[in-house]
């Protein structure tokens, strides 16, 4: 189910991350993505975020291929080596839709057990002026400073980063009509 | 000269009792048209400073425009009637939240019980674009206050209670402006 078959190029600044393009074998996984798009997304809002999401999908039989592509042992091993983490044991997985006005404000993702965060982008044709970019912050003493990198979601690209006190990031508000769909979660160790 | 005359309806004994009851039970109350004059003649805010603290607050703040009010006996007397307690001003400031600005849920620097007052100076509030107050209490209760020009919000907060300004959408064409004042209880009223 994975199309990507190379070494992971980890970028160190502002914190270790990688952008893996053409991650999925789309022909092999088309039915699963269609099933995913038909799932119920529940809108949620708090001080930190506004978006719609599914429940945890890691156990969904209809997404076995996607789950394997993101979380099989070979891939986990490759990620752990690239990011120098302890062995990765399992992933969690949910889908998120950001529609116009949705956002996720700065946070570092740190929760016990999380080693690597991932976001698989599944919207075609998202443009920079639509918003929805994943924005990475520089930090000083574990406090976020400035946005130093904007990653415009590219269809079928997987963004992964090491969860640490430095991993401050946000999702810029979606201001266009496009809907930003991702499958997102964490690798646990 | 700014007229700080409180609307007579808010001196009505039944209204004062209702404010007290709502503040005691729900801990947040929003009073429309608190002053007779909508304070349209306020001077422009000066000495504003941009605060860029991603993950905490992104906003513009400056010295309070209503310092005279926050220190006034008029307000102190009214607060005493509405809350059955005497309050002492701890701090006050002017806050502006433009498109993309926010503050996340946060505690007070001091965990003691406090009375938070916010007077809304927002011109043409845009409810769909955020910029409202969220209060999250230690017992799990949550309350939202939408923007309303000329309204005074009173919030009775204790240790562990949090408040924030919900993110203002970049699609907003306006700026949320408010006066923010914190009081600490100096003494309860003995009867």
Q: Angle at the Cα of B69 (from B56 to B188), degrees rounded to 5?
A: 85
Q: Which residues of B touch A142 (CB under 8 A)?
A: none
For chain B, what is the radius of gyration of the CA atoms? Answer: 16
Q: Is residue A165 part of a domain?
A: yes
For the B8-38+47-188 domain, the top CATH level (class) is mainly beta
Contact between A174 and A131 (Cβ < 8 Å):
yes
Say which of B52, B129, B134 has its CB closest to residue A47.
B134
Rounded Cα distance, B53 and B37, in Å: 35
| β-pair partners for B92 | B181
In this complex, is the C-beta atom of A165 within 8 Å of any C-beta atom belonging to chain B?
no
- The count of domains in chain A is 1
Q: Is the pLDDT of residue B106 over 80?
A: yes
Domain interval for residue A47: 24-188
Token digits of residue B87: 């309050």
Q: Do B55 and A105 touch (CB under 8 A)?
A: yes
A171 at interface of B, judged by CB pairs closer than 8 A: no
Residues of chain A contacting residue B132, judged by C-beta atoms under 8 Å apart: none
Cα distance between residue B186 and residue B191, in whole Å: 16
3-class DSSP state for residue A153?
A: coil
What's the mean pLDDT in A13-19? 98
Structure token pair of residue A150: 């904007």
Q: Which two tokens stand for residue B83?
A: 């809350």
Size of interface A-B (CB pairs under 8 A): 46
Q: In the structure, what pLDDT confidence band is assigned to residue B41 with cuts at 50, 70 and 90?
A: low
In the predicted model, what is the mean pLDDT of residues B55-72?
A: 95
Query: Does the CB of B167 have a partner CB in chain A at under 8 Å?
Result: yes
- Residue B134 and residue A145: Cβ atoms within 8 Å? no
A-chain residue closest to B105, CA distance: A47
- Once rounded to an integer, what is the mean pLDDT over residues A130-155? 97
pLDDT tens profile B143-187: 999 999 999 999 999 999 999 999 999 999 999 999 999 999 987
Looking at the complex, report in whole angstroms how far the Cα of residue B53 sits from the nearest Cα belonging to chain A. 7
Phi, psi torsion values for A45, nearest 5 degrees: -150, 135
Kindly state whether residue A101 falls inside one of the protein's structural domains: yes
Look up the CATH number of the domain holding residue A90: 2.60.120.620
Q: How far apart are CA A63 and CA A24, in angstroms?
A: 13
Nearest to A48 among B100, B104, B128 (CB): B104
B127 touches B120 (CB < 8 A) = no
A131 interfacial to chain B (CB closer than 8 Å): yes
Calculate the alpha carbon distances from B125 to B30, B147, B163 in Å: 15, 6, 19
In a domain, A5, yes or no: no
Interface of A with B in 143-162 (CB under 8 A): 143-147
What is the rounded distance in angstroms from the CA atom of residue B3 to the CA atom of residue B36?
A: 8
- Which residues, in sequence order, are bridge partners of residue B53? B57
CB pair distance less than 8 Å for B55 and A106: yes
Assigned token pair, A119: 């976001």
pLDDT of residue B42: 77
Q: How many Å lie between the alpha carbon of B17 and the closest alpha carbon of chain A?
A: 32
For chain A, percent of residues with pLDDT exceeding 70: 100
Q: Is the pLDDT of residue B3 over 80?
A: no
pLDDT at B113: 86
Measured in degrees and rounded to the nearest 5, phi and psi for residue B76 equal: -60, -40
């Amino acid at each position: 189910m994975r199309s990507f078959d190379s070494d992971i190029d980890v970028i160190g600044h502002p914190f270790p991350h990688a952008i893996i393009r053409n991650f999925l074998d789309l022909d092999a996984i088309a039915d699963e993505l269609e099933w995913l798009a038909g799932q119920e997304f529940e809108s949620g809002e708090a001080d930190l975020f506004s978006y719609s999401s599914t429940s945890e999908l890691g156990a969904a039989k209809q997404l076995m291929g996607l789950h394997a592509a993101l979380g099989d042992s070979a891939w986990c091993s490759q990620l752990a080596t690239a990011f120098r983490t302890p062995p990765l044991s399992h992933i969690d997985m949910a889908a998120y839709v950001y529609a116009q006005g949705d956002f996720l404000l700065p946070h570092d993702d740190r929760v016990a057990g999380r080693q690597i965060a991932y976001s698989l982008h599944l919207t075609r044709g998202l443009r920079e002026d639509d918003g929805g970019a994943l924005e990475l912050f520089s930090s000083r003493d574990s406090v976020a400073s400035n946005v130093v990198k904007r990653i415009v979601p590219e269809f079928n690209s997987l963004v992964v980063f090491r969860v640490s006190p430095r991993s401050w990031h946000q999702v810029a508000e979606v201001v266009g009509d496009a809907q930003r769909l991702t499958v997102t979660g964490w690798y646990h160790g | 000269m700014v007229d700080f005359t409180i609307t007579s309806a808010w001196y009505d004994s039944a209204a004062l009792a209702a404010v007290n009851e709502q503040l005691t039970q729900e801990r947040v109350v929003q009073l429309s048209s608190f002053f007779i004059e909508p304070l349209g003649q306020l001077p422009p805010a000066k000495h504003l400073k941009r605060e860029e603290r991603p993950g905490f607050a992104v906003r513009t703040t400056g010295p309070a425009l209503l310092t005279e009010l926050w220190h006034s006996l008029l307000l102190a007397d009214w607060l005493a009637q509405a809350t059955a307690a005497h309050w002492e001003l701890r701090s006050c400031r002017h806050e502006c939240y433009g498109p993309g600005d926010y503050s996340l849920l946060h505690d007070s620097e001091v965990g003691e019980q406090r009375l938070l007052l916010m007077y809304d100076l927002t011109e043409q509030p845009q409810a769909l674009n955020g910029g409202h107050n969220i209060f999250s209490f230690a017992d799990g209760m949550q309350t939202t206050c939408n923007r309303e020009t000329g309204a005074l919000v009173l919030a009775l907060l204790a240790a562990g209670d949090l408040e924030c300004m919900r993110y203002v959408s970049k699609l907003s064409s306006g700026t949320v402006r408010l006066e923010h004042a914190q009081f600490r209880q100096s003494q309860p009223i003995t009867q």
